[in-house]
Structure 1
Amino acid sequence: MKSILIAAAIALAVSILLTPYLIKVFSRQGFGQEIREDGPQHHKTKRGTPTMGGLAILVAMWAGYLGTHLVNSMSASASGQTPTASGLLVLMLTTSLGLVGFLDDFIKIRKARNLGLNKTAKLVGQFIATITFAILVLQFPNKDGLTPASVNLSFVRDITVVSFGVVGFIVFCYGMVAAWSNAVNLTDGLDGLAGGSSAMVFGTYVFISFWQFRYNCSSYAVAGCYDVRDPLDLAVIAAAAMAGCIGFLWWNAAPAKIFMGDTGSLALGGLVAGLAIATRTELLMIVIGGLFVVEALSVALQVAVFRTSRRRLFRMAPFHHHFELAGWAETTVIIRFWLMAGICCMFGLGVFYSEWLTGGF
């Protein structure tokens, strides 16, 4: 628990102090957000707001993670003194997708348009980052033979009867990362919506990962324990990410002084997928990240309905814009969607805990 608190404290401090510095630097450089022409008209007033603020979240995450291990290395009694394979691989995936998002944002700024990397380039970037992660995450077994991920599909634990095999897992992993990174990216359309929702998801994973650490099979080998390689280190990352999002939200809440851009949203989506894979909770994440799922589905349904009937199912997709065009104030939409995100997280946590109660304890 000490490691989790240290990571959160460091990440919060870095994020809340670094973000205003980025606002000044990006404003001087003219790194302002471009707004889509077919979006809600009142969003055009946001044109020129500094973007790429996701850098603050990424730096805060790394600072919280490395700072925690530095503090722990000075204490002989501290557990998890050195960075683990699971932690470093999840952070590698997150940072790689953040780099793809950074290039996307930078091109938007330089070309003064709302389109950065084309679809092919973005998918190639996501593909390289994900395939590297998927291959490495099946390596590095610990003394108990556990690797950071498993080729089995998982809910709260591995579903051993559903095994992908190595090649199938790599394909599945790519689908997971692409889906979650794009889902968070689609949610990032209102001030603080993606940041606040992500903070709730990562907060949920702080609890889940710590619970898996407390009842890990390596130290608590009874029916119902968790076969997760480095749960405490994953809890540290989740805590750092949660605090980084909260610190950024201080400046990103409506009216936003800076946007996270694709730099932040693609990175956070990658972290969502990475945590789900490394904690063996891939299907449970659909419940916990329910808001992101709804946002992505709204776009898919809008496209499908329009292509088949030439009619729009929603006034505009993603889903949050539908309510804006229905006359809801932006802050009303944000707060109510935060409530939806919180409900999904609480429900997912309840599912996790109820499964644990029937898991043999």
Structure 2
Amino acid sequence: MTNVLIAAAVALVLSMLGTPLAIRLFSRRGYGQSIREEGPEAHQGKRGTPTMGGTVIVIAALLGFAASHLATLSEPTASALLVLFLMTGLGAVGFLDDFIKIYKQRSLGLRSGAKAFGQLIVGVVFAVLVTRFPNGYAITPAETRFSFLRDFGPSIGLIGFTVWVLIWIVGFSNAVNLTDGLDGLASGAAGVVLGAYVVIGNWQFRNSCVTQQLGPNCYWVRDPLDLAVVAAAVLGALVGFLWWNAPPAKIFMGDTGSLALGGVLAGLAFTTRTQLLLVILAGLCVMITLSVIIQVGFFKMTGKRVFRMAPLQHHFELKGWAETTIVVRFWLIAGLFAAVGLGLFYVEWVPSS
């Protein structure tokens, strides 16, 4: 637990102190947010707010993780490094997207094909490497199988697994991106899920088949404690960033942050063997993504809209809800989803008597 606490504390302090520096730097260079003309009218006042704040989240999380291992003289594990690679790689794709938006002063950055290609390259590398690096007990960071509370079913093969990984990476990186529509919304929602993964990683470590030999309910997870350290480092960085991103936001995370956070969540889901559980833990992001799918699909079929605007948070804006009201209520929903997910995770440990 020492590693977990150090990682979270260092990342939080670095993010809390580093974000105002980034605000001043990006403001001087004119790295301001472009706003879609078709978006809610109230958002036009946010034009020019510094963006690319996700760079602070990524850097603070990486340094927090490194500091925890330096302080305890422990070696980082393969599972943790692969999740951090996924976060950084997708963050780099998001950074290019943000930079093009700023440079060309438009609300669209990378072309969809180029953005998808970047996600594809990072995702394929992660999918291939995450099935390698077995430890002394022949446990790899992930298996080529589906998982809910743990792995189940037969192997789907490396090709099938790679496709599955890509679906999850692209799906959740875009889900967090869609959630990032109001000040502090994505930061808070992702933070709740990361907090759940701190708990999951620590519980898996305490009930590891390798270290505890606890019988049928133990976990065959390669590096659960270090995965909790990763989740804690990113959570600490998010809390420090949220201090400046809360309404009214002084800086936005941009695609740099949203893609990186989606990558962390997907990476943790694969390495903790909780792929399908992530759908519940990150239920708010899933719900917001479904609102876009429903809106687009229904409009194409009927020419009519289900919501006043998608993603879902903008529907409530147009209904007259205050931005802070939407954000806080959606945070509560995110917390409820995470609580349900953790409840399901623990349910197999409840005595059946």
TM-score for both structures, normalised by structure 2 = 0.98
CA distance in 2 between partners of 1:347 and 1:157 (Å): 17
What's 2:294 paired with? Answer: 301
What's 2:10 paired with? Answer: 10
CA contact (8 A) 1:207 1:235 kept: yes
AA of the residue aligned to 1:259: F
CA contact (8 A) 1:212 1:228 kept: yes
Instruction: Write out per-residue CA displacement over residues 99-140 of structure 1, whole angstroms, 9 at most, x where no aligned residue.
Output: 000000000001100000011000000000000000000110
What's 2:28 paired with? Answer: 28
1:269 matched to 2:259: no
What's 1:66 paired with? Answer: 66
What's 1:77 paired with? Answer: none
Give the counterpart of 1:239 among 213, 218, 232: 232
How many pairs does the alignment contain?
352
Task: Indicate the SS of the match to 2:146.
Answer: strand
CA distance in 2 between partners of 1:314 and 1:287 (Å): 23
- 4+ residue runs of structure 1 moved beyond 4 angstroms? none
AA of the residue aligned to 1:129: V
AA of the residue aligned to 1:40: P
Note the residue ranges of structure 1 that are not aligned, 5 or more in a row. Answer: 74-80
CA distance in 1 between partners of 2:273 and 2:349 (Å): 14
Give the counterpart of 2:171 among 179, 185, 198: 179
AA of the residue aligned to 2:21: Y
AA of the residue aligned to 2:190: S
Give the counterpart of 1:195 among 187, 190, 210: 187
- The residue correspondences of 1:88-103 to structure 2 (distance < 5 A) are 88-103=81-96
CA distance in 2 between partners of 1:358 and 1:265 (Å): 39
Give the counterpart of 1:346 among 334, 339, 344: 339
CA distance in 1 between partners of 2:168 and 2:350 (Å): 28
What's 1:54 paired with? Answer: 54
CA distance in 1 between partners of 2:159 and 2:351 (Å): 33
CA distance in 2 between partners of 1:335 and 1:211 (Å): 29
What's 1:151 paired with? Answer: 144
What's 2:314 paired with? Answer: 321
- The residue correspondences of 1:99-114 to structure 2 (distance < 5 A) are 99-114=92-107
Give the counterpart of 1:258 among 251, 256, 263: 251
Task: Indicate the SS of the match to 2:183.
Answer: coil
- Seen in structure 2, the aligned counterparts of structure 1 residues 109 and 71 have a Cα distance that, compared at 3 Å, is same
AA of the residue aligned to 1:138: T
1:162 Cα deviation after fit: 4.1
Task: Indicate the SS of the match to 2:127.
Answer: helix
AA of the residue aligned to 1:165: G
1:165 Cα deviation after fit: 1.3
TM-score for both structures, normalised by structure 1 = 0.96
Give the counterpart of 1:212 among 198, 204, 215: 204
CA distance in 2 between partners of 1:152 and 1:195 (Å): 30
1:166 Cα deviation after fit: 1.2
CA distance in 2 between partners of 1:182 and 1:351 (Å): 25
CA distance in 2 between partners of 1:66 and 1:280 (Å): 24
Instruction: Write out per-residue CA displacement over residues 274-305 of structure 1, whole angstroms, 9 at most, x where no aligned residue.
Output: 00000000011111000010011000000000
1:326 Cα deviation after fit: 0.5
Task: Indicate the SS of the match to 2:70.
Answer: helix
1:336 matched to 2:329: yes
Task: Indicate the SS of the match to 1:100.
Answer: helix
Note the residue ranges of structure 2 that are not aligned, 5 or more in a row. Answer: none
Give the counterpart of 1:225 among 218, 221, 224: 218
Instruction: Write out per-residue CA displacement over residues 191-239 of structure 1, whole angstroms, 9 at most, x where no aligned residue.
Output: 0000011111100100000000000110122111001000010000000
Identity of aligned residues (%): 57
CA distance in 2 between partners of 1:135 and 1:115 (Å): 31
What's 1:85 paired with? Answer: 78
Give the counterpart of 1:249 among 242, 249, 257: 242
CA contact (8 A) 1:186 1:318 kept: yes
CA contact (8 A) 1:156 1:355 kept: no
Task: Indicate the SS of the match to 1:163.
Answer: coil
CA distance in 1 between partners of 2:128 and 2:195 (Å): 28
